[in-house]
Amino acid sequence: MDLILCHTTADFDALAAAVGLSCLLPGSKIVLSGGAHPPVRDFLALHRDEYPIMERRSVIPEKIRSLRVVDTQHRDRLGKAAEWLELSNIEEIIVYDHHLSQQLTIPATESHIEPVGACTTYIVEELQKQEIALTPVQATVMALGIHVDTGSLTFESATPRDALALAWLMQQGARASVISTYLDPGLSPQLQQLLTEALENLEYFDLLGYTIAWVTIKTDNFVPGLSSLASELVELTEIDALLLANEYTHKEGDLRLTIIGRSQIPGVNLNLLFHIFGGGGHSQAASLSLRQGNTQEILQQLLEGIKTSIPHPPTARDLMSSPVRTIRPETTISQAQRILLRYGHSGLSVVDTQGKLVGIISRRDIDIALHHGFSHAPVKGYMTTKVKSITPDTILPEIQAQMVTYDIGRLPVLENGQLVGIVTRTNVLRELHQAEAENKFPITNSKFKTNLNTELQNRLAPRLWELLTVASQAAEKRGWHLYLVGGAVRDLLLAESAAGTLMISDIDLVVDGFHQAADVGAGVELAKALQKIYSGARLEIHGAFQTAALLWHKDPELDSLWMDIATARTEFYPYPAANPEVEASSIRQDLYRRDFTINALAVRLTSPRPGELLDFCGGLIDLQAKQIRVLHPNSFIEDPTRIYRGVRFAVRFGFEIEAQTKDFIKYAINSGVYDRTAQTNIKTPSLQTRLKAELKYILQAPYGKSALQLLNELGALQCIHPTLKLDKSLVQQLRLLEACLRRFDPQNHLIPWEMRLEALIAHLEPQYRVKVATNLHLPEDGIQRLQNLATAQTQVMELLPTCQRPSQIVQLLRPYDLPMLILTALQTDRTLRRQIWGYLEVLVNVQPLLNGNDLKKLGYKPGPQYRQILDDLLAATVDGLIKDTAEAENFLAQHYPQ
| Tens-digit pLDDT profile for residues 179-229 | 988 886 667 788 888 988 999 899 999 888 889 999 999 998 888 888 888
Helix axes 728-744 and 818-826, enclosed angle (nearest 10): 150
Mean pLDDT is highest, among 38-42, 105-109, 223-227, 283-287, for 105-109
In order of 579, 872, 873, 885, 890, the CA distances from 868 in angstroms are 56, 6, 9, 18, 17
Task: Give the range among 263-267, 582-586, 707-711 with minimum mean pLDDT.
Answer: 582-586
* Least confident segment among 241-245, 577-581, 877-881: 577-581
Cα separation, 651 vs 656, whole angstroms: 8
Residue 443 has pLDDT above 50, yes or no: no
**Residue 543 banded pLDDT, cuts 50, 70, 90:** low
Task: Work out the average pLDDT over 267-294.
Answer: 85
Q: What is the pLDDT of residue 444?
A: 38
Confidence check: pLDDT of 669 > 80: yes
Q: What is the pLDDT of residues 84-95, one digit of tens each?
A: 999 999 999 999
Would residue 221 be called left, alpha or beta, if left means φ above 0 and alpha means ψ between -120 and 50 degrees? beta
| pLDDT at 431 > cutoff 90 | no
Residue 57 binned pLDDT confidence (cut-offs 50, 70, 90): confident
Is the pLDDT at 422 greater than 60, yes or no? yes
pLDDT value of residue 498: 47
How are beta strands 538-542 and 326-327 bridged, if at all? unpaired
Contacts of 404 by beta carbon, 8 Å cutoff, 6+ apart: none
What's the predicted TM-score (pTM) here? 0.66
Residue-level pLDDT at 209? 81
Instruction: Give yes or no for a contact between 813 and 839, defined as CB atoms under 8 angstroms apart.
Output: yes
Q: Please give the full DSSP string across 351-392, using - where no structure is assigned.
A: E-TT--EEEEEEHHHHHHHHHTT-TTSBGGGTSB-S---B-T
Give the tens place of pLDDT for each residue, 294-329.
889 999 999 999 998 888 888 888 888 777 888 999
pLDDT value at 558 more than 90: no
Residue 573 has pLDDT above 60, yes or no: no
Mean pLDDT along residues 818-838: 92
User: Quick one: pLDDT at residue 330?
Assistant: 95
Tell whether omega for the bond before 323 is within 30 degrees of 0, i.e. cis.
yes
Task: Label residue 682 by pLDDT band (50, 70, 90).
Answer: low
Asked whether the predicted pLDDT for residue 555 surpasses 50, the reply is: yes
pLDDT at residue 447, as a whole number: 35
At 34 the pLDDT is: 85
For the segment 607-660, what is each residue's pLDDT rounded down to a tens digit?
Answer: 878 888 888 888 888 988 899 999 988 888 888 899 999 999 999 999 999 999
Q: 10 Å Cβ neighbour count for 84?
A: 20
Give the pLDDT of residue 701: 93
Average pLDDT for 871-880: 84
Pick the residue with more confidence: 573 or 157? Answer: 157
Question: Looking at the predicted structure, is the pLDDT value of residue 256 above 50?
Answer: yes
Query: Quick one: pLDDT band at residue 446, thresholds 50, 70, 90?
Result: very low
Quote the mean pLDDT of the chain.
87
Mark out the alpha helices in 244-315 (DSSP H runs): 270-275, 295-309
Contact predicate 349/379, CB 8 Å = no
**pLDDT score for 516:** 45
Please tell me the predicted confidence (pLDDT) of residue 278: 85
In terms of Cβ atoms closer than 10 Å to its own Cβ (0-12, 13-18, 19+), residue 171 is exposed
Give me the mean pLDDT over the 837-854 stretch: 83
> Can you give the pLDDT at residue 686?
67
Better-predicted residue by pLDDT, 718 or 460: 718
Query: So what's the pLDDT on residue 445?
Result: 38
Per-residue pLDDT tens over the stretch 588-607: 888 888 899 999 999 999 98
Confidence grade of residue 869 (pLDDT, cut at 50, 70, 90): confident
Give the mean pLDDT of 512-527: 70
CA angle, 401 then 402 then 403, to 5°: 95
The pLDDT tens digits for 466-475 are 999 999 999 9
**What is the predicted pLDDT for the residue at 434?**
61
Q: Measure the CA–CA gap between 32 and 48, rounded to whole angstroms.
A: 12
pLDDT tens across 358-379, in order? 999 988 899 999 999 999 999 9
